[in-house]
Amino acid sequence: MVQTLSIKAARVERGFSQEALAEKLGIGKRTLISWENGEVDVKPVSMFALAYVLNYDIDVLRVPIKKFTNKSHLKCGFEIS
C-alpha cells in the first residue's frame, strides 16, 4: 500500500510556503488554502501540476473531500452523515 500525504504535508515536507507554492503553480494563495482545507475540489490537471512541482507520484497526494453542507433545497429524502 502506498503511503499518502495531504497537500499541506507534502508542501511542508518539500519546504514550500503557501505563497511560494501558489506562485509556482500560477494560482492564488487562497485557492491553495481552499485545496488544503477541502473547501473546493482540485481538478485533475491541478493534481498533476501539484505532483510535478512537489516531485511526488500522483498517487501519493491525498486531497480532502469537499464537505457536504446541509442545504434544504438539495434534500433528496435521505440524510448524509
pLDDT at 50 over 90: yes
Q: Which residue has the higher pLDDT, 62 or 53?
A: 53
pLDDT tens digits along 18-35: 999 999 999 999 999 999
Could you write out the DSSP letters of every residue in 57-70?
-GGGEE-PPPPP--
Interatomic CA distance for residues 16 and 18, integer angstroms: 6
Q: 57 pLDDT band (50/70/90 cuts)?
A: very high
What are the structural domains, with CATH classification, of the chain? 5-62 (1.10.260.40)
Interatomic CA distance for residues 8 and 50, integer angstroms: 11
pLDDT at 77 over 90: no
Entry pTM: 0.75
